[in-house]
Structures are given as C-alpha cells and as structure tokens.
Amino acid sequence: MSNDPIPSESRRLLRGPLLLGLTLLSASALFTSAAVRAADHSTAFDTNCSMCHQLGAAGVPGQFPRLAGRAGKIAAAAAGRNYLERVVLFGMIGGITVDGTSIVGGVMPSFASLSDQDLADALNYIVSLDNSGKLRWKGGVFKPADIAGARGGKPLSPSQVHQLRTPAVGTL
Ligand code: HEC
C-alpha cells in the first residue's frame, strides 16, 4: 500500500477529470453528427426522392438512375446546373443510359410543388455525394433564388427536359 506509486486519494482525484473528459468527448460526437445532419440537406431528398433513387442516391440499375457521384460532375458546368434545376421542376421522360444500363419507360415526376428551398436542398445534397453515397460537402451550389429563376423562366415539357440532357450530361 505504502509503496503504491499512485496513492489511492490521488487516484480518486484523477478519475474525475477522466470521466469528465470521456463525457465531453461523447457529447461532442453527438453534437458533430447533429450538425452534419442539419447541414447536409438530406431531409428534402430523403422525403421526396429516396423512394426511387434510394438512400444515398445509389439508384437501381435499369430503373432509377444513380445520382451519387454523377450529379456533382453534371453540376460542374452551367449547362449541367440548368439541366438539374429543370429535371426537378418539370420532370423528364425519355430513355437514358446510366452505368451502361438503359432505363426505358422511366418517368421522373415534376417536383414543382416543392419550395425553392427544398429543391435547392435536394440538389445540393445529391451534388455533394461521392460514388458510394458518402457526403463530401462542398457548400451550397444551388441557391433558392436559382430555383426561383428556373421556375420563372420558360416552362418545359418532360420530353423537352430530356432534349437538354445529352449536351448537359454526355456519358456521365
Ligand atoms: C417516382 C420515382 C422518382 C422520384 C420520386 C424521383 N425521381 Fe428522379 N428520376 C426518376 C427516373 C425514372 C429518372 C430517369 C427518367 C428518364 O429516363 O427520362 C429520374 C431522373 C433524375 C435525374 C436525372 C439523372 C440523369 O442521369 O440525367 C435527376 C437529377 C433526378 N432524377 C433527381 C431527382 C430528385 C432530386 C428527386 C427528388 C426531388 C427525384 N429525382 C425524385 C425517378 C424518380
């Protein structure tokens, strides 16, 4: 007892800060995931889009295009951003090929009933995903005002949106 390098009294004193440290650590982990969740804009996508495009926008080959890892590349050019805004506002009909597999007879519904904020959130979410659906947040690409601008422009039919696709998407 007497040759114990750490007397029991000091050991008791040490335990306090250690437990406090662990508590703070787990509390900060909780805060971090809550903050990431709030900033990742996934709610609008999860609520309106994931039933077809799947969680993390992984897609279903031959039925619903994978958006993860593709939307960010499409949005790199202005034509691509214009296209993405119009796909969600006006919908799209017409065959497309994604990941080497054709989607025939697929219908992307119009989401004009959603707010500019929700559509900007859904688009910002998909452009921030890497190929495996992990969030690689780069900040907001789409502002609600961009959606409002597209909404106030020339209305397109779903097949007219399809005509915008090849120049905007190419083989992505
Ligand atoms: C009812 C199923 C369904 C829902 C819900 C849906 N989509 Fe789609 N989406 C599709 C289909 C099918 C296509 C392909 C349409 C085609 O082949 O012309 C598509 C195409 C797209 C494309 C174009 C992809 C490309 O390769 O050009 C984007 C972007 C997109 N959807 C985003 C969204 C977003 C964002 C939402 C939610 C606001 C959403 N979709 C909701 C079925 C859906």
Give residue 116's Cα distance to chain centre: 16
Per-residue pLDDT tens for 113-130?
999 999 999 999 999 999
Please state the atom number of ligand 1 nearest to the C-alpha of residue 118: 38
Q: What is the DSSP letter of 93?
A: E
pTM of the shown model:
0.82
- pLDDT score, position 16: 55
CA of 106 to the centre of ligand 1 (A): 9
For 86-102, the pLDDT digits (tens) are 999 999 999 999 999 99
Q: Residue 111: CB within 6 Å of ligand 1?
A: yes
User: Is 51's C-beta closer than 6 angstroms to any atom of ligand 1?
Assistant: yes
Q: How far apart are CA 160 and CA 146, in angstroms?
A: 20
CA of 144 to the centre of ligand 1 (A): 19
Written as one string, the DSSP assignment of 24-49 is HHHHHHHHHHHHHHHHTTHHHHHHHT
Average pLDDT over residues 104-115: 97
Cα(125) to centroid of ligand 1, in Å? 14
Helix, strand or coil for residue 61?
A: coil
Query: What's the pLDDT at 149?
Result: 98
169 lines ligand 1 (CB under 6 A): yes
Measured in Å, residue 147 CA sits from the centre of ligand 1 at: 17
**Residue having the nearest C-alpha atom to atom 10 of ligand 1:** 108
Tell me the CA–centroid distance for residue 7 and ligand 1, in Å: 67
Q: What is the pLDDT of residue 94?
A: 96
Strand extents, DSSP E, 6-150: 92-93, 96-98, 101-103, 107-108
75 lines ligand 1 (CB under 6 A): no
Which architecture characterizes domain 41-169 according to CATH? Orthogonal Bundle (1.10)
Q: Is 55 helix (H, G, I), strand (E, B) or coil?
A: helix
Per-residue pLDDT reduced to its tens digit, 28-76: 444 444 444 445 679 999 999 999 999 999 999 999 999 999 999 999 9
